[in-house]
Structure 1
Amino acid sequence: MQISTLSSEIAESLPFERVSFSHQFLIVGSVGLGIAMTIVGIWLGAETERAAVNRVTAVSAAYVESILAAQLRAVPEDALTTQAMHDALDHIFISGVLQRKIAAFKLWDAQGVVHYSSDDSLIGQRFPVDETLASAFSGTVQARIVAREQELATGGQDAGQRLLEIYVPIRISQSDKVVAVATFNHWTGNIDREISSSKLRSWALVAGVTLSIYLLLFGMVRRANGTILRQRDDLRSQLLRLSRGYEELEHMRRRLGEAGSATTALNEQFLQRVAADLHDGPAQTLAFSLMRFDELVTALSAGSGAKETSAPDVFRVREALRSSLEELRGIATGLGVAGIADLSLAETVDRAVRDFELQYGRTVEAHVESVGVETDLAVRITAYRIVQESLTNCGKHALAGALCVHVQQIAGYLNIEVADQGQGFDLHATPLNGRLGLAFMKERVRLLGGTFVLESTPGCGTRVAVKLPLTIKESIVV
């Protein structure tokens, strides 16, 4: 229990754990989707640029190849280096229609020798055959983006532009043999603008799709987080209820132990009182009767004065035995109530009042109202004991004054009130636990889930008020 509590405290102390699940997703998801969006955007940009270059390469290569094919259709292979051929190519690439579209032009042979160039200083020079040039001689059109060389700048062109370098295989005399490779550098101004526009649209599409996915996922996570929070609150409420229930069970267990101890102590005190009553009452009387009976037997056996002594002694023995019998009946009445199971609540209260009136010879003003509802036997027994013990205390201590018993049913509860106008007593000077009868009454009422109130003032009488539930199936408390 301590370990789990400590781990939960440590987890709650971490900054990230104090953030809700939806906010965690907001942070982690934005970073993750941002990285994914960047990767996809870069890849789409590269693919867009590659597609644009390939498209322009194909169109430009076909256009240039068609012009060169018309120019070199009937020219033999060794005529590529003649002055007439140079003049014809100058007319096309330097002063012709391709002047503003092509920044530079070269004509290579398979050994890397430049047979023609728009830059006269390069004619006749030999360069290493790189992979791109070799691939072009194998019959494949090649293209690549290169940085614009400063010497290629011409009037009206942006010195910061890049160049698209295209390698076009040249075939003459209706043959598939590649006799030369034409290399020309194409201005990329329009291509760059098209690529930039395509990249911008690609990035916008990727960003829109990513944002839509992110918002959709965030909405789902937020709703799930709400469910989790509600379930967590429900679990906390259930845990709180279980904890309170456990505390109540512990409290009830302690109260049960206390009630058991109190009941044991009260029973022991009650047994001691019964033993004292038997010893001081019927036992003494029976001992006196037995002693007088022995004297009577002795006198009768001696035959001396039997007639003079037998009659009074027999009368005294008879009275003593009768007194013992009455005392035993009184004690038995206090121990049990015969036939109470067959009585109603009103009859039970009336019997307790009549028993008191017969025993003490005093009149009780009894009022029993609205008690026609069927009640449990335990409630009737407790009501009898409350009225009996309260009236008995009145008979013993309230030697004068009126006695009143008031019983009524209100809202599922039975209210019992017994009052006298005797001398009363000081509750603080005489604790409740010091009076066995009052302690028994209070314990009986508490076990049935009722309330017990005792009011008394010296010189103003005593009042006992009890409130009991009519049914005790769910009302018994410990």
Structure 2
Amino acid sequence: MSLYTAVTAGPFDRSLLKIWKGLSLDCRFATLALFLAIASTFAIGGWVSRSIENRILSRSSGVASVYISDLVSPLVQELASSDRISAERRDQLDALLVSGALRLHVVAIKVWNSSGTIVYSSSRDLVGKRFAPSQSLLNAFAGAITSEVNEPSAESAPEFSEHDAIFEVYAPVYDQNTGKVIAVAEFYEDAAELVDVVAIAKRHSWMFTFFILSCNVLGFLAVVHGASRIIDQQRDQLSQQINQLSRAVARETALRTQIERGAQNVFDENERFLRALGADLHDGPAQLIGLALLRLDDGAGGVNRTSLEQARTAIAEAMRDVRAIAAGLLLPDISGRTLEDCLAATVRNHEARTGTSVTLVCENLTTECSDQVRICVCRFIQEGLANSFRHAQGIGQRVTVVGETDFIRVTVSDSGPGMPKGRVSDGSPHLGLISLKNRLESLNGTMTVSSWPRRGTQLVARLPLKMEKPDAV
């Protein structure tokens, strides 16, 4: 292989490999099957034609051996003691080709003696000549009958001049007394019929083999094509499932991060809430109760009406503060109630506690939800109304709850002065906006805050009706 061929063969092979990899499974199978069918057709056709040719040659060899033993052998027995055939015997051999039984099949006869010399030939020019013995001639002297269809040679040229194909048979001639091989008779038959038979058999075998293999290939191709389509469909489905799984994993990862962040924020807000609650209890009811105790101590030596009145007033204020704090933390009983009943109870509690009026609108609340969702919605309304009362003096308080297909949307609004930008929590005992947002995110919900100067504030929460735990990755 030249250097140019070695260099240029690489990219060509890579191109073929790329084209092969780009073919579908059924196309690959069809290509290989077609190649194997053609190769098998030639192989089987050649084997069948050779088998037919060998059978015909074997049959012809058997016929030739009969001719030699019955017709030729008696006429050449003198070769057992001589190197030549007499003129009388040559004339008798010539007569076999003219009027005898051999004239129907044999076109020429040669007789070889043991020294490799032609002692008789239907072509007189070859008599007395010696040629290098062929393997078939040597096998015949060894006692074997051989037959073959050969190319023209120096000693068979006269026969080929009149016939397109010659069939040669070499048969040993035995001494009738001793049984030894004394000569070899070579018959030349017209092989045109043999060639035609072999050619027809070869064509028929090729056609039949190709037909059978084509039927098998088409049958297998149909099966492979169906399997290839199923594989392609399954590959597409698997790709879609992988994409869906990837998106689900991404959503789950984002949700897990959101839940973890919400849980941490809820923990922090609870800590701040507890500190604020402790400070309020210390600065409010605790101080008032302490003042009442001091007034009682002042009146321990005698009844001081003024001290008793001040103590009673301080204790009453402390009780009001404690009740206000407790009322801001407690929810109505939700067990056995529908969501609409829980919402109405929460609004009524706020109205009773603050002395304000709230408009409640509920739409499409036909689907029941879990206790977690009911608690979250009630807390959201409770905190939203508390902020509205605190910052907007309860002006235009409105609660709208709308049920969607799988979600619920809660809106708490007022008509107050609005909320300053950037303010998310006022430090009150209530959970505040950040705490509300964290609670909603822990339930896979969302919250938006909108506020307009002199037009009021609006809180909107949206969360799913049913809570589902994400599958572990």
> Do they fold alike, i.e. is TM over 0.5?
yes
What residue is the counterpart of 2:295 in the other structure?
292
User: What are the superposed Cα offsets for residues 268-307 of structure 1, whole Å, 9 maximum, x if unpaired?
Assistant: 221232123223321232233233333333xx3xxxxx56
Letter in 2 for 1:313: S
Question: Which stretches in structure 2 are left out of the alignment for 5+ residues?
Answer: 1-13
Q: Cα–Cα, structure 1 residues 97 and 158, in superposed 2: closer, same or farther, change >3 Å? A: farther
What residue is the counterpart of 2:458 in the other structure?
463
How far apart in 1 are the matches of 2:449 and 2:268?
21
What residue is the counterpart of 2:48 in the other structure?
44
Listed as ranges, the matches of 1:272-421 within 5 Å are: 272-297=275-300, 300=301, 310-337=304-331, 339-341=333-335, 344-367=338-361, 375-399=369-393, 401-407=395-401, 409=403, 411=405, 414-421=408-415
How far apart in 1 are the matches of 2:80 and 2:367?
131
Mapped contact 1:148–1:161 kept (Cα < 8 A): no
**Cα drift, residue 31 of structure 1:** 4.0
How far apart in 2 are the matches of 1:374 and 1:124?
123
Letter in 2 for 1:147: E
Letter in 2 for 1:120: R
What residue is the counterpart of 1:432 in the other structure?
424
What residue is the counterpart of 1:253 in the other structure?
256
Mapped contact 1:72–1:172 kept (Cα < 8 A): no
Mapped contact 1:61–1:166 kept (Cα < 8 A): no
Partner of 1:147: helix, strand, or coil? coil
Mapped contact 1:172–1:179 kept (Cα < 8 A): yes
Listed as ranges, the matches of 1:65-464 within 5 Å are: 67-68=71-72, 72=75, 81-93=85-97, 102-110=106-114, 112=116, 114-124=118-128, 132-133=136-137, 136=140, 140-149=144-153, 158=161, 161-169=164-172, 180-297=183-300, 300=301, 310-337=304-331, 339-341=333-335, 344-367=338-361, 375-399=369-393, 401-407=395-401, 409=403, 411=405, 414-426=408-420, 429-432=421-424, 437-464=432-459
Q: Cα–Cα, structure 1 residues 121 and 42, in superposed 2: closer, same or farther, change >3 Å? A: same
Letter in 2 for 1:188: A
How far apart in 2 are the matches of 1:162 and 1:473?
92
Mapped contact 2:403–2:409 kept (Cα < 8 A): yes
What residue is the counterpart of 1:55 in the other structure?
59
Letter in 1 for 2:454: G
How far apart in 1 are the matches of 2:105 and 2:157?
13
Mapped contact 1:111–1:129 kept (Cα < 8 A): no
How far apart in 2 are the matches of 1:420 and 1:226?
63
Letter in 2 for 1:457: W
What residue is the counterpart of 2:7 in the other structure?
none
How far apart in 1 are the matches of 2:416 and 2:133?
136
Q: Cα–Cα, structure 1 residues 367 and 20, in superposed 2: closer, same or farther, change >3 Å? A: closer
User: What are the superposed Cα offsets for residues 402-424 of structure 1, whole Å, 9 maximum, x if unpaired?
Assistant: 43344465556555443322222
Mapped contact 1:137–1:169 kept (Cα < 8 A): yes
**Cα drift, residue 110 of structure 1:** 4.9
TM-score normalized with structure 2 length: 0.78
Partner of 1:341: helix, strand, or coil? coil
Letter in 2 for 1:463: Q
**Cα drift, residue 132 of structure 1:** 4.1
Q: Cα–Cα, structure 1 residues 88 and 25, in superposed 2: closer, same or farther, change >3 Å? A: same
What residue is the counterpart of 1:7 in the other structure?
none
Partner of 1:266: helix, strand, or coil? helix
**Cα drift, residue 114 of structure 1:** 4.2
**Cα drift, residue 380 of structure 1:** 3.2
Letter in 1 for 2:416: G
What residue is the counterpart of 2:25 in the other structure?
21
Question: Which stretches in structure 1 are left out of the alignment for 5+ residues?
Answer: 1-10, 301-305
**Cα drift, residue 373 of structure 1:** 6.5
Partner of 2:453: helix, strand, or coil? coil
**Cα drift, residue 111 of structure 1:** 5.4
TM-score normalized with structure 1 length: 0.77
User: What are the superposed Cα offsets for residues 233-272 of structure 1, whole Å, 9 maximum, x if unpaired?
Assistant: 3333333333333323322331222112211221122123
How far apart in 1 are the matches of 2:397 and 2:154?
130
Q: Cα–Cα, structure 1 residues 184 and 223, in superposed 2: closer, same or farther, change >3 Å? A: same
Larger RCO (CA under 8 A, 6+ residues apart):
2
How far apart in 2 are the matches of 1:412 and 1:73?
116
Letter in 2 for 1:432: V
Q: Cα–Cα, structure 1 residues 62 and 342, in superposed 2: closer, same or farther, change >3 Å? A: closer
How far apart in 1 are the matches of 2:418 and 2:305?
47
**Cα drift, residue 133 of structure 1:** 4.5
How far apart in 2 are the matches of 1:383 and 1:375?
11
What residue is the counterpart of 1:8 in the other structure?
none
Letter in 2 for 1:329: R
How far apart in 2 are the matches of 1:253 and 1:388?
27
**Cα drift, residue 434 of structure 1:** 6.1
Mapped contact 2:172–2:183 kept (Cα < 8 A): yes
How far apart in 2 are the matches of 1:146 and 1:408?
103
Partner of 2:93: helix, strand, or coil? helix
Letter in 2 for 1:118: S
How far apart in 2 are the matches of 1:352 and 1:474?
28
**Cα drift, residue 317 of structure 1:** 0.9
Mapped contact 1:357–1:364 kept (Cα < 8 A): yes
How far apart in 2 are the matches of 1:438 and 1:207?
84
Partner of 2:335: helix, strand, or coil? helix
How far apart in 2 are the matches of 1:420 and 1:378?
26
Q: Cα–Cα, structure 1 residues 120 and 351, in superposed 2: closer, same or farther, change >3 Å? A: closer
Comparing 204-213 with 317-326, which one deviates more in the overlay?
204-213
